[in-house]
Amino acid sequence: MPGYNMPDGCYESDIPGWYDEDITTMVYCDDCQIDFEAEVTYNRGSEHGDVTCPECNKEWFYEYDN
């Protein structure tokens, strides 16, 4: 059965970002040796997101433990 108010063969989960979720979490930067609070947008299917350190601007993937 297709999604509500969607074209034939399409589902709501086909929409980019459908499974994305925003969380606030504490992250530790190994380079700066600081803990900081970060807003992380992660995909519920893959459970990881992008994080940027506020001190050194280093970017990496954050693995979300739920």
Can you give the residue range of the structural domain that contains 37?
Answer: 19-63
More confident position, 60 or 37: 37
In a domain, 6, yes or no: no
Task: Give 2 or 35, the one with higher predicted confidence.
Answer: 35
Question: Do 27 and 50 form a contact (C-beta atoms < 8 A)?
Answer: no
Q: Give the per-residue pLDDT at 64.
A: 62
Is residue 1 a part of any domain in this protein? no
Residue 2 placed within a domain: no
With respect to residue 5, please indicate whether it lies within any of the assigned structural domains: no
Q: Structural domain tally of the chain?
A: 1
pLDDT at 65: 61
Q: Residue 56: what pLDDT?
A: 93
Q: For position 20, what pLDDT does the model report?
A: 80
Q: Could you read off the pLDDT of 11-56 as tens digits, one per residue? A: 887 888 777 878 788 888 889 999 999 887 776 655 567 788 999 9
Give a yes or no: residue 41 inside a domain.
yes
Residue 37 lies in a domain: yes
Show the CA angle centred on residue 61, arms to residues 56 and 62, nearest 5°.
95
